[in-house]
Structure 1
């Protein structure tokens, strides 16, 4: 009976029965999908050919359940790409830039001239806070660009909703304040004070004192990993998990004090600028740099990385501003600044802001071609620039200087259309709470921080037979090198300062003949001077 059933099943597959053929292939028929315009822009690479056999491909996927699972995942990804392509018609906002007519130049336009031509909503975003007693100031925006945090070197700390003008809190910590940064949202912030790093809530209440972070100069928060990275005068890079309160990693850079740090938004790798002109890239799981680049002949003053993770801008005390392609670690453009740039920032649309002396220069298309004239220029008269930071989803640049903080308009800097699931500038309290819970559930582990995050989750398509073949070839190559290669004689030091001579002189001075000395003399007599020099297994340690 069993043989008859098997025979019937096979004959049914050969007879052209579609049901039997489906059972034989173990594959459901896929519906024909219509092509959506701009669908390729949202796809995540090529689909896996799970129907391929070992003869057609170097790999094959065995098992009906695994094939069905992969097929469903591909369908979901394809549906998401088509939905995103169809939703493009809802993105009505477009980013625009300043355009000059005739012989006019865009870098000659001042902020007071732009305010007269802007609408009331945009004109209200140009303001200046005069705080000459507590500067220089550090500036930081939240990920949705709604809230602003400023910190003065002499202890002034304030946070507010800068678009509505609502103040969250304002306080004076009564000690040196070196850097400030928002954490996962506007409810928590970190301040690097004279000795320790302190955590405050949105009311200005001190929540925690981080005793493991001492004399910190710069801080960066990794939002998808909930990691606070700090570096200071001792030269230690430390990662602290703000969701659990644990110190994840402590790395000694061995390059002295560091006061320049930024993160790569694409892969969450920390970039540090050092006084010897090098830029190092770190992840919390490696205690040595992933990459070490010699960028300047002097100390590195500022580092910035664009959101795609392809380009990096650096400035140094040698007066140079360099643009790098960190995919191949090569320099693209080199510029000279009238004074060493103290701060750099890259907008969501690729504009580069350079703060030097009392000027802020904004460059357009600086990563593509060599620029001869800047896009915009801003003069902060009588006050040196200490920090520049672009506001996300807004054409606004925050400028921290010695006499306070200024907000200027830079047309075309921000992303015109935002994704409310990623960062919502108009989120309610309930939406903020829900997004916080979702981000905690989707938190990435520190060991996921690598140079190329696209390698995570990839399938090694090398077959087991190929791997074994490579191992055999490597082993044979090593054996051939050991057999055929000539052993190079080790250079031994002759004369009064050799180890053997010192040992013999020491024994002669004491006029003592012990068993060790007799064994050494017998070994020398057995080998001889020439044999001892040619035998690689004979060392001075053997004598003792």
Structure 2
């Protein structure tokens, strides 16, 4: 371990020079840097010890449904759950019957505001805590997707032709005409990037803070209607009609990873920590380990159509919409994701198909956008019981909501497929530890594979190598002769230009064409061109 750490320290030539050969100013800066490192390490240890000390105050724990041995939790209906919960949870359950469906839904990162968009043009935003509406308008165009940006003050809507951005009063602020026929929108909060994909298979990253298009690549796989982003590292996952899932970053113009997950088109997708769940037209839904890109679980779904929507809660409960039925699985991503999941809850809508599915953050609520409205269901244990007030806080004041978070923006060029959390830094990527303690071999994003495919230069033939060696010997002999002649002429105090002319006359001659050529049997210029051609 000591040799490795020393090797890492000696990577920086400036540090090595300052430590061994630098002046007093450089050594002083090095001492100050060491002092700062010790100070920051002490702060980190103090913060960690204080967090462990205050963890005893987090008495709230996620509560799941506890049933008797002779009964399954999947047989419990929403009416029974609603009758046994507190008044605060009952107020969060509602069912809106609306005529402009089917509906797309989205929550803000603090889980307080909801935006719904009907495919026939209805667009609404309201506060889910006090049910206060902000606006309810008709855009008179097809709405394909809705996505909140940094907070509830901006919402992006993928309409018939372009992507439009509205404020919290329903006023259109921007119209992004570069994004045509968009099907899916995603927002990556740490990077302030809005990602879009649509009919033309063009994946685009746009900086919301500056309006700059960071990257735009063509997937060359046709229209794409399935897109999710990994909150841990910011990688975009796309599901295609040929059954593959591709992983994209704005720093590379090709997919970093391409996986064959189904034998038919990919219909829906969800990501939780190091796992990805997918469903396809081949009749199966599967989970995949994103650390080694291997299949962990595969199950056949029951129904007339594949899951049209998938969502994962903060605690790892997987929800799937199969037509008008919603099923929830609790143990899909636990203990390595290899357990056979048992059905946790289910709910059947009457004469309605579920199009979109979203869990409310920090609450045990799941919202479903159906063909005739929006409904919320109670899913015990789906929300985190203890939220961090410095993170998105559902109970923050109006003054805190106006605090600018642009200074905390992370550069987009730090997005990578490596299993590294956003904002962390590690100089040694040789091994990645799994949740269960095992060492997972890191998967290359494509660079090493391209290096292996590159053709090595062919070795020279024996005759060619012999000519090269002969040329080298002749060249070295002539070079040494020129040095000796120059030294003798300097001793005789001959000027530089005259000495150069004498050496050229001695080592070269003028042919019939008037050009100067080197004396001897080996012609250096012609042979050098021959060697370059062979190489």
Range of TM-score over shorter length: 0.7 to 0.9
Matched, 1:458 2:422: no
- Name the stretch that deviates more: 398-407 or 85-94: 85-94
Counterpart of 1:419?
A: 388
Cα shift at 1:537: 7.1
Counterpart of 2:375?
A: 406
Counterpart of 1:396?
A: 365
Pair 1:237–1:104, CA change in 2 (3 A): same
Output the aligned Cα RMSD: 2.6
Matched, 1:211 2:177: yes
Counterpart of 2:293?
A: 329
Matched, 1:265 2:231: yes
State TM-score, norm by structure 1: 0.73
Matched, 1:67 2:31: no
Does the 8 Å contact 1:59/1:461 carry over to 2?
A: no
1:312 aligns with one of 263, 267, 276: 276
Q: Name stretches of at least 5 consecutive residues in structure 1 with no aligned partner.
A: 1-48, 463-473, 488-535, 539-544
Q: Name stretches of at least 5 consecutive residues in structure 2 with no aligned partner.
A: 10-14, 20-29, 431-450, 465-531
Cα shift at 1:482: 2.8
Q: Give the Cα separation in 2 of the matches to 1:258 and 1:481.
A: 44
Matched, 1:58 2:7: yes
Pair 1:67–1:405, CA change in 2 (3 A): same
SS at match of 2:45: helix
2:328 aligns with one of 362, 372, 380: 362
Does the 8 Å contact 2:331/2:341 carry over to 1?
A: no
2:84 aligns with one of 104, 113, 117: 117
Q: Give the Cα separation in 2 of the matches to 1:279 and 1:248.
A: 22
SS at match of 1:386: strand
Pair 1:297–1:113, CA change in 2 (3 A): same
Cα shift at 1:77: 1.2
Cα shift at 1:231: 0.3
Counterpart of 1:181?
A: 147
Cα shift at 1:174: 0.5
Q: Give the Cα separation in 2 of the matches to 1:55 and 1:288.
A: 34
- Name the stretch that deviates more: 340-349 or 60-69: 60-69
Counterpart of 2:60?
A: 93
Cα shift at 1:484: 9.2
Does the 8 Å contact 2:332/2:341 carry over to 1?
A: no
Does the 8 Å contact 1:319/1:341 carry over to 2?
A: no
Residue by residue over 1:122-147, the C-alpha shift from the partner in whole angstroms, topping out at 9 and shown as x without a partner, is: 1222211111x211111111101111
Residue by residue over 1:197-218, the C-alpha shift from the partner in whole angstroms, topping out at 9 and shown as x without a partner, is: 0000001010010111100000
SS at match of 1:425: coil
Q: Give the Cα separation in 1 of the matches to 2:294 and 2:8.
A: 36
Residue by residue over 1:476-518, the C-alpha shift from the partner in whole angstroms, topping out at 9 and shown as x without a partner, is: xx99983699x9xxxxxxxxxxxxxxxxxxxxxxxxxxxxxxx
Does the 8 Å contact 1:58/1:461 carry over to 2?
A: no
Counterpart of 1:13?
A: none
SS at match of 2:7: coil
Cα shift at 1:58: 3.4
Q: Give the Cα separation in 2 of the matches to 1:55 and 1:362.
A: 47
Q: Give the Cα separation in 2 of the matches to 1:117 and 1:55.
A: 59
Q: Give the Cα separation in 2 of the matches to 1:218 and 1:480.
A: 46
Aligned pairs for 1:229-378 (under 5 A) are 229-306=195-272, 308=273, 310-338=274-302, 339-367=305-333, 368-371=337-340, 373-378=342-347
Does the 8 Å contact 2:318/2:332 carry over to 1?
A: yes
Q: Give the Cα separation in 1 of the matches to 2:284 and 2:461.
A: 52
State TM-score, norm by structure 2: 0.74
Cα shift at 1:380: 1.1
Residue by residue over 1:418-439, the C-alpha shift from the partner in whole angstroms, topping out at 9 and shown as x without a partner, is: 00111111011101112xx1x2
Q: Give the Cα separation in 2 of the matches to 1:189 and 1:479.
A: 53
Pair 1:56–1:225, CA change in 2 (3 A): closer
SS at match of 1:74: helix
Cα shift at 1:68: 1.4
Pair 1:352–1:461, CA change in 2 (3 A): closer
Pair 1:320–1:73, CA change in 2 (3 A): same
SS at match of 1:288: coil
